């Protein structure tokens, strides 16, 4: 039971003509290019609905005329859209603005935050899957947890379905969709191409959940989901940021220009196996001197065992320097303005964070480092859930 709490084989023939671009390695997913099609009236309506919803989501209560000016649509078009969205239960009329000027005041429209709910899942923790029911503003209204112990493959996938069943029972009303932050490589259409410790390969989780529960499902990489949550829910003051986690291995979620960067093989942010120590210790990936064995939480705890305070500070500062060495060129090339670190607070905060920040600043151009904020969000356990909910808000309402 879930624990609940309120709130192809290669050809032997060589190619006659060499390709101008390298072929993808066998088994490596590639992002499908977007198909170009002629826009239809239905496309325009969906786009315009998203414009109205996004404007209200980010700006708050507005009159119809204010919405029309903000989105650049005619007043009749906005009135029709607002009427449709009211009919869908997504918008509410809250009456005129207080202190209005003389004359008939215009009524204000707002997004009804409780009109629909999102079932969000975080599959990143060892031994358990976490889930929550959230309203349209990301407020958690209920939680559930599903232990999975050593379950892998189909058994683990079935535990995910059981958790969604529990969340669906907890939802107080209409469900807009299901959002999932999963470890591993997650590709087009919510297919989990590979999640090693869960034994998943080419798992069409989004399609399976959607078919089972009758609502849209959106799946993303867990660290990418956390990065989206930092951007939208944790007061990021920039559109260029990176989120680093050391909780289970080392991963990164990258936002550039306010957009998530996933990469053509859906593997952007895999910095754990970047070499930071020439001729360093062997790594499980086959290389030497990789970042992950130097800063992963489990590896750090093993090196800290039995050390006094001074020894712990030295180990953590050295790990922070290793991270800073890896992050400095990324920060410079992308002109990042924020780096957020996730992981156990006792490891991330203090010497580790301070050393990483100092190393990045020492190795980057002054105008870039001067604008850089590096902070800890260690212990923020809801980031992946919020990011998963954001995938649904973006995919279904266009509000991100």
pLDDT value at position 24?
A: 46
Q: Are 122 and 179 in contact (CB under 8 A)?
A: no
Question: Does position 13 have pLDDT exceeding 60, yes or no?
Answer: no
Cα angle, residue 163 at apex, residues 158 and 167 outer, rounded to 5°: 145
Cα angle, residue 135 at apex, residues 131 and 140 outer, rounded to 5°: 45
What would the mean pLDDT of 6-10 be, rounded to a whole number? 40
Domain assignment present for residue 33? The answer is no
Number of domains the chain contains: 3
Share of the chain above pLDDT 70, in %: 89
Domain assignment present for residue 313? The answer is yes
Output the domain CATH number for residue 70. 1.10.10.10
* Nearest residue to 341 via CA among 325, 353, 355: 353
Is the domain of 358 the same as that of 283? yes
Is the domain of 274 the same as that of 375? yes
Question: Does position 374 have pLDDT exceeding 60, yes or no?
Answer: yes
Domain assignment present for residue 27? The answer is no
Question: Does position 19 have pLDDT exceeding 70, yes or no?
Answer: no
Alpha-carbon span 87 to 65, nearest angstrom: 19
Q: Are 216 and 395 in contact (CB under 8 A)?
A: yes
Question: Does position 37 have pLDDT exceeding 80, yes or no?
Answer: no
Q: Which domain holds residue 87?
A: 43-97+106-111
Tens digit of pLDDT for each residue in 285-316? 888 999 999 999 999 999 999 999 999 999 99
pLDDT value at position 284?
A: 86
Residue with tokens 């904020």: 373
Is the domain of 267 the same as that of 349? yes
What would the mean pLDDT of 345-354 be, rounded to a whole number? 97
Is the domain of 253 the same as that of 316? yes
Instruction: Name the band, by pLDDT with cuts 50, 70 and 90, for residue 227.
Output: very high
Is the domain of 69 the same as that of 171? no
Higher pLDDT, 41 or 156: 156
pLDDT value at position 23?
A: 44
Domain assignment present for residue 176? The answer is yes
Domain assignment present for residue 201? The answer is yes
Higher pLDDT, 22 or 229: 229
Alpha-carbon span 13 to 32, nearest angstrom: 26
Map residue 379 onto helix, strand or coil. coil
Question: Does position 28 have pLDDT exceeding 90, yes or no?
Answer: no
Q: Comparing 43-52, 122-131, 298-307, which segment has the lowest mean pLDDT?
A: 43-52
Domain assignment present for residue 2? The answer is no
- Cα separations (Å) of 88 from 116, 131, 210? 10, 26, 21
Question: Does position 36 have pLDDT exceeding 70, yes or no?
Answer: no
Domain assignment present for residue 23? The answer is no
Is the domain of 262 the same as that of 349? yes
Higher pLDDT, 211 or 400: 211
Tens digit of pLDDT for each residue in 246-291? 998 899 999 999 999 999 888 898 899 999 998 888 888 888 999 9
Is the domain of 278 the same as that of 303? yes
Instruction: Name the band, by pLDDT with cuts 50, 70 and 90, for residue 113.
Output: very high
Is the domain of 373 the same as that of 392? no
**Tokens of residue 375, six digits:** 């902070």
Domain assignment present for residue 310? The answer is yes
Is the domain of 55 the same as that of 126? no
- Pick the most confident of 15-19, 55-59, 122-126, 385-389: 385-389
Output the domain CATH number for residue 201. 3.30.420.40
């Amino acid at each position: 039971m879930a624990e609940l709490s309120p709130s192809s084989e290669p050809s032997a023939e060589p190619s006659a003509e060499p390709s101008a671009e390298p072929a993808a390695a066998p088994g490596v997913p590639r992002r499908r290019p977007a198909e170009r099609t002629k826009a239809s009236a239905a496309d325009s309506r969906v786009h315009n609905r998203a414009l109205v919803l996004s404007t209200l989501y980010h700006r708050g209560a507005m009159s119809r005329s204010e919405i029309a000016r903000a989105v650049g649509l005619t007043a009749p078009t906005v009135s029709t859209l607002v009427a449709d969205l009211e009919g869908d239960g997504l918008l509410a009329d809250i009456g005129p603005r207080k202190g209005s000027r003389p004359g008939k005041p215009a009524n204000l429209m707002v997004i009804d935050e409780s009109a629909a709910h999102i079932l969000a899942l975080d599959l990143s923790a060892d031994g358990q899957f976490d889930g929550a029911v959230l309203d349209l503003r990301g407020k958690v209204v209920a939680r559930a947890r599903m232990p999975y112990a050593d379950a892998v493959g189909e058994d683990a996938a079935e535990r995910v379905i059981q958790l969604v069943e529990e969340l669906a029972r907890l939802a107080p009303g209409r469900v807009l969709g299901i959002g999932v932050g999963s470890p591993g490589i997650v590709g087009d259409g919510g297919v989990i191409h590979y999640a090693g410790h869960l034994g998943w390969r080419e798992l069409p989780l989004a399609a399976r959940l959607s078919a089972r529960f009758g609502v849209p499902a959106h799946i993303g990489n867990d660290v990418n989901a956390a990065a989206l949550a930092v951007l939208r829910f944790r007061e990021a003051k920039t559109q260029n940021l990176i989120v680093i986690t050391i909780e289970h291995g080392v991963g990164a979620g990258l936002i550039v220009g306010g957009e998530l960067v996933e990469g053509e093989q859906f593997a952007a942010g895999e910095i754990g196996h970047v070499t930071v120590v020439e001729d360093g210790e062997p790594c499980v990936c086959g290389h030497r001197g990789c970042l992950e064995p130097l800063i992963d939480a489990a590896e750090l705890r093993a090196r800290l065992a039995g050390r006094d305070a001074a020894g712990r500070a030295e180990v953590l500062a050295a790990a922070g320097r290793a991270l800073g060495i890896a992050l400095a060129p990324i920060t410079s090339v992308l002109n990042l303005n924020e780096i957020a670190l996730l992981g156990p607070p006792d490891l991330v905060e203090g010497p580790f964070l301070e050393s990483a920040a100092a190393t990045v600043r020492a190795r980057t151009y002054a105008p870039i480092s001067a604008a850089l904020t590096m902070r800890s969000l260690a212990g923020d356990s809801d980031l992946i859930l919020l990011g998963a909910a954001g995938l649904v808000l973006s995919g279904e309402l266009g509000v991100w």
